[in-house]
Amino acid sequence: MKKVVIVGSGVVGLFCAVRLRIAGAQVTLLEAEAEHPSPFGPIASAAAAGMLAVLDAVPSPHEQLAIESLKLWRELRPGAEWADGVRFDGGVHVRANADDAQNFFRNAQRLGLDVSALNAGQARKRLGLSKKLENAIFVGDEGTADPQRVLTGLAMQARAMGVVIEYHRDVENVTQSAVMTHDNRVYEGDAVVLAPGVWATEKLMRAAPALKHVQPAKGHVVAVETDATLGPNLHAPDFYMVRRREDVVIGATMEPGRYDRRVDESKVDALLDAARAFLPGEVKAEGRAWAGIRPMSPDGWPVVGPSGDVFVAAGHSRNGWLLAPLTAEIISAYVFSREIEPAWAALAPSRFEAS
Ligand SMILES: Cc1cc2nc3c(=O)[nH]c(=O)nc-3n(C[C@H](O)[C@H](O)[C@H](O)COP(=O)(O)OP(=O)(O)OC[C@H]3O[C@@H](n4cnc5c(N)ncnc54)[C@H](O)[C@@H]3O)c2cc1C
Tens of pLDDT, residues 110-122: 999 999 999 999 9
Q: Which residue has the CA at smallest separation from atom 35 of ligand 1?
A: 8
CA 259, 263, 265, 270 dihedral sign is positive
Question: The domain that contains 186 carries what CATH number?
Answer: 3.50.50.60
Is 56 a member of any domain?
no
Under 8 Å between Cβ of 210 and 68:
no
Please list the ranges in the chain whose pLDDT falls under 50.
355
Residues 202 and 153 in one domain: yes
Between the CA of 327 and the centroid of ligand 1 the distance, in Å, is 13
Whether 63 is covered by a domain: the verdict is no
Count of C-beta atoms within a 10 Å radius of residue 35: 13
Q: Is residue 336 one of the residues assigned to a domain?
A: yes
Pocket test for ligand 1, best of 142, 146, 199, 241 (most atoms within 8 A of CB): 199
Q: Per the domain annotation, does 58 fall within a domain?
A: no
**CA-to-CA dists, residue 302 to 195, 216, 255, angstroms:** 11, 13, 19
Residues 200 and 252 in one domain: no
The residue whose CA has the least distance to atom 38 of ligand 1 is 196
d(CA 26, CA 13): 14
69 domain residue, yes or no: no
pLDDT digits (tens, 9 = 90+) for 279-326: 999 999 999 999 999 999 999 999 999 999 999 999 999 999 999 999
| pLDDT of the residue at 354 | 59
Q: With beta carbons less than 8 A apart as the criterion, state whether 179 and 186 touch.
A: yes
Element at 324 (helix H, strand E): helix 320-335
Give the up-direction half-sphere exposure of residue 80: CA atoms within 13 A in the CB hemisphere. Answer: 23
pLDDT at 60: 86
Domain end (from 296, 326, 343): 296
281-297: b (≥16 Cβ within 10 Å) or e? ebbebeeebbbbbbbbb
Q: Is the CB of 241 under 6 A from ligand 1?
A: no
Q: Is 325 near ligand 1, meaning CB less than 6 Å away? A: no
Given 281, 296, 311, which residue is the final one in a domain? 296
82 and 138: one domain? yes
- Same domain, yes or no: 287 and 303: no
| Same structural domain, 161 and 291 | no
Q: What pLDDT is stored for residue 230 in this prediction? A: 94
Please tell me whether residues 166 and 220 are part of one structural domain.
Answer: no
- Summary count for the chain: helices (H), strands (E): 11, 21
Q: Domain limits at 206?
A: 3-49+148-213+298-353
Specify whether 283 is located in the same domain as 243. Answer: yes
Classify residue 126: in a domain, yes or no.
yes
Strands 191-194 and 215-225, by their bridges, are unpaired
289 and 304 share one domain: no
164 and 205 within one domain: yes
Q: Is the CB of 275 under 6 A from ligand 1?
A: no
Ligand 1 neighbourhood includes 302 CB (under 6 angstroms): no
48 lines ligand 1 (CB under 6 A): yes
Q: Is 71 among the domain residues? A: no
Query: Is residue 305 located within the same domain as residue 292?
Result: no
Number of residues assigned to the chain? 355
Q: How far is the CA of 190 from the centre of ligand 1 (A)?
A: 25
